Amino acid sequence: MRHQQKKQQELKRGLSERHIQLIAIGGAIGVGLFLGSAKAIKTAGPALILAYALAGLVIFLVLRALGELALYKPISGSFTEYAEEFIAPWAGFVTGWTYWFLWVVTGMAEITAIGLYVKYWFPDIPQWLPALLALIAVYVLNLIAVKVFGEVEFWLSIIKVVTIVALIVLGLTMIFTGWGNQGQPVGFSNLWDEGGFLPKGVAGIFLSLQMVMFAFLGTELVGVTAGEAKKPREMLPKAINSILWRILIFYIGALLVIMALFPWHQVSEKTSPFVLVFDKIGIAGAAGIVNFVVISAAFSSCNSGVFSTGRMLLTLSRSRQAPHAFGQINRRQLPAKAITASAIVLLFGVLLNYVIPEKAFAYITSVATVGALWTWGVIVYAHMQYKQAVKRGEAPEVDYRLGGTPVVNWLVIAFLVMVAVLLWFDPETRVALFVGPIWFLIIGIAYQFVKGRGTVTPPAET
């Protein structure tokens, strides 16, 4: 009887290997590529490729560190638990709530993107209405079953992958054969003829990093899924190892093709670069097709956001750092109350789309980036402390490892700090450096009220 009650309070392990693999892809490919890449191209020119390569390598190192921790203890709380165990209880509290805040804010950005892109078909519709409808749909999906969440993410990721592969294949055909360009091969000269490969200098690469790093937000979801993966110790290493080549193919490959076909300064921030490519090929309704893909990418990210915020509130509650109700599991073995609370807060994003529809996306993404930088920094620092615990014989070693510790860890942290500083140099992202400290002050004060409660950390789930 006791075993059955305990089982009812555990999350259902309903995510298969294909779900984990595609969630990893979905986390690495989002609106940041389909929508945000236009502004990044204007900021850095062809050298944006270097920014994505550098940022992609850093993210891969973060995920290797997270993978090692996740194999040591595959639980739904993921890096919140690791921060508490290997840094300090306050670090777990701050990281858990910051990650929850990050995904609530990101969810706001994604429903904002949905509101913007639905206007392509229905220009007279108020921006807040499709944002609200998308939020309701995501909320319902997350309350059905974790397998349904995984299935929806699987097919949404398939849509994104097929679109990017199509762009790369068709674009390369145009580049080498001249198809769609009156039989004249385009070549790659646009990468260096229009002001050189570095038209905005090295500064352009650095100034694009905020947008580039936001594009990678969500890759760490692989760690959050550990508590609901059927075979986490087999699935997680495969998913993480494949992320690097996905970044190379999907991000760098797509951007190479786009900037080879079009001089970088001809790319408009108001139009997805993907629309330009499909239009040039002569595909009827190209803009409509890409518009659908962008909406599906935004919906996918918001879906992941509600999933992860619900799990984070569950973990915080069971550590006595959030209301008790959020730690409860319903009959479907889902944290329904935690999911509901997150969805209610996401309604603020609908309000922003009503009040400041023009500025909503830029403001929200920059604030989300600050939360992501903190989370990634905590992951690599907790990993460093875990390795010290292994040396002292206080924690078991696992087969999957990040090499080069602690030097690699410190280099990653230094890079993340640099990106945070760079937020100051763009008026639209500067707001994050005001909101961020206010958030950390609020969460620091909140910790003073819960730190004496003690923690109830769930055992590792295998």
Q: Among the ranges 98-102, 317-321, 414-418, which has the highest mean pLDDT value?
A: 414-418
231 by DSSP, 3-state: which?
A: coil
- Confidence check: pLDDT of 460 > 60: no
Residue 401 lies in a domain: yes
Q: Residue 419 pLDDT > 60, yes or no?
A: yes
Q: What is the pLDDT of residue 382?
A: 95
Which region among 145-154, 155-164, 375-384, 422-431 has the lowest average model confidence (pLDDT)? Answer: 145-154
58, pLDDT greater than 90:
yes
Indicate whether 16 belongs to any domain. yes
- Mean pLDDT rounded to a whole number for the chain: 80
Quickly state the pLDDT bin for 262 (edges 50, 70, 90): confident
- Classified as helix, coil or strand, 434 is helix
pLDDT band at 381 (very low <50, low <70, confident <90, very high): very high
Q: Collapsing DSSP states into helix, strand and coil, what is residue 132?
A: helix
Q: Is the pLDDT of residue 258 over 70?
A: yes
Residue 374 belongs to some domain of the structure: yes
Give yes or no for residue 80 having a pLDDT over 90.
no
Asked whether residue 14 carries a pLDDT value surpassing 70, the answer given is no
Q: How far is CA 162 from the centre of its chain?
A: 19
Q: Which of 94-103, 281-290, 319-328, 379-388 has the lowest average pLDDT? A: 281-290
Q: Evaluate whether residue 306 is within a structural domain.
A: yes
pTM of the complete model? 0.82
* Cα–Cα distance, 429 to 437 (Å, whole number): 14
List, in sequence order, every residue forming a beta bridge with 229; answer none if it has no partner.
15
For every residue of 404-427, DSSP letters joined together read TTTHHHHHHHHHHHHHHHHGGGST
Domain count within the chain:
1
**Alpha-carbon distances of 448 from 89, 196, 321, 451, rounded to whole Å:** 11, 54, 11, 6
* pLDDT beyond 90 at 388: yes
Asked whether residue 3 is domain-assigned, the answer is no
Q: What pLDDT, on the 0 to 100 scale, is given for residue 462?
A: 38
CA dihedral 312, 129, 33, 368 (to 10 degrees): -40
Lowest mean pLDDT among 4-13, 99-108, 316-325, 341-350: 4-13
- Nearest alpha carbon to residue 330 among 28, 9, 42, 74: 9
The letter for the amino acid at 418 is M
Q: What per-residue confidence (pLDDT) applies to 3?
A: 42
Q: Distance between CA 272 and CA 291 in Å, rounded?
A: 8
Whether 37 has a pLDDT exceeding 50, the answer reads yes
Q: Is the model more confident about 360 or about 126?
A: 126
Percent of the residues in the chain that have a pLDDT greater than 70, as a whole number: 82
CA count, 13 A, side-chain hemisphere, 13? 13
Query: Average pLDDT for residues 276-281, to the nearest whole number?
Result: 75
Stretch 139-146: mean pLDDT: 80
Band (pLDDT 50/70/90 cuts) for residue 426 is confident
At 457, the pLDDT band (50, 70, 90 cuts) reads very low
pLDDT tier at 16 (50, 70, 90 boundaries)? low
* Mean pLDDT score, 272-299: 78
Residue 261's pLDDT band (boundaries 50, 70, 90)?
Answer: confident
Q: Which of 20, 309, 2 is nearest to 139 (CA)?
A: 309
Is there a domain that residue 31 lies in? yes
CA 169 – CA 173 distance, rounded (Å): 6
What would the mean pLDDT of 447-461 be, rounded to a whole number? 60
Of 71, 65, 78, 60, the C-alpha closest to 403 is 65
Q: Name the token pair of 326.
A: 């959020």
Residues in Cβ contact with 421 at an 8 Å cutoff, skipping those fewer than 6 apart: none
Confidence of residue 24 (pLDDT cuts 50, 70, 90): low
Closest C-alpha among 49, 29, 461 to residue 242: 29
Which helix (H) or strand (E) covers residue 277, if one does? helix 273-281
- Grouping H, G, I as helix, E, B as strand and the rest as coil, residue 336 is helix
Please determine, for residue 427, whether its predicted confidence score (pLDDT) is greater than 60: yes
Specify the DSSP element, H or E, that contains 170.
Answer: helix 146-177
Q: What domain range includes position 260?
A: 12-450
Tokens 């519709």 label which residue? 125
SS3 229: strand
Give the pLDDT of residue 272.
Answer: 73
Contacts 24+ apart (CB under 8 A), 260-263: 260/171, 260/175, 260/186, 260/187, 260/188, 260/190, 260/191, 261/171, 261/174, 261/175, 261/186, 261/190, 262/190, 263/190, 263/193, 263/194
Residue-by-residue DSSP string for 55-115: HHHHHHHHHHHHHHHHHHS--TTTHHHHHHHHT-HHHHHHHHHHHHHHHHHHHHHHHHHHH
**Burial category of 399 from C-beta neighbours within 10 Å (exposed 0-12, middle 13-18, buried 19 and up):** exposed
Residue 5 inside a domain? The answer is no
SS3 (DSSP) at 15: strand
pLDDT of residue 383: 95
> What's the token pair of residue 436?
């961020």
**pLDDT tier at 245, thresholds 50, 70, 90:** confident
Question: pLDDT of 295-353, one tens digit each?
Answer: 888 888 788 778 878 877 887 888 788 888 888 887 777 788 888 888 888 887 777 66
Q: Can you tell me whether residue 357 is helix, strand or coil? A: coil
Q: Which of 85, 30, 164 is nearest to 395 (CA)?
A: 85
State pLDDT tens for residues 154-199.
888 888 888 888 888 888 888 888 776 666 777 888 888 878 889 9
What is residue 262's DSSP assignment?
A: S
Per the CB < 8 A criterion, the answer to whether 182 and 26 are in contact is no
204 pLDDT more than 80: yes
Q: Confirm whether 303 is domain-assigned.
A: yes
What's residue 27's pLDDT?
58
Which CATH number characterizes residue 54's domain? 1.20.1740.10
Average pLDDT over residues 212-241: 72
Q: CA angle, 57 as apex, 54 and 62 as ends, to 5°? A: 130
* pLDDT at 390 (0 to 100): 93
